[in-house]
Amino acid sequence: MKVRYRERALADIDGIFEFINVRSPAGAHNVLHALADAIDEIGAHPLASPVSSDADIRVKILTRYRYKIFYSIVGDDVVEIVHVRHAARRPWV
């Protein structure tokens, strides 16, 4: 499936990179690569992740770095990344 990003998701990813990059540039790149790999997985297997409390939103958990990637399936051929946040933050959906 094609992967599309909402502006919020892009801002989330930028913010994650900026926050980590100050402390560890190598760590920031590792997290971005892990997020990109997880998003590729979402595109390949969109139904593999569980539904969140909102039936239209699924959530993929990136266990190594404890990030959650929230996404929705739009039509038959598009996955839309809605939001990315750290699991330690209060629940979003």
pLDDT digits 0-9 by tens, 41-87 = 999 999 999 999 899 999 999 989 999 999 999 988 999 999 999 98
How many independent structural domains does the chain possess?
Answer: 1
Position 25 in a domain: yes
Strands 58-62, 67-74: pairing is antiparallel
The pTM assigned to this predicted structure is 0.91
Position 92 in a domain: no
Helix, coil or strand: residue 88? coil
CA–CA gap between residue 84 and residue 63 (Å, rounded): 13
Q: Domain of 27: which CATH number?
A: 3.30.2310.20
Query: What is the extent of the structural domain holding 13?
Result: 2-86
Q: What are the start-end ranges of the E strands in the chain?
A: 2-5, 58-62, 67-74, 78-86
Burial of 28 (0-12, 13-18, 19+ CB in 10 A): middle
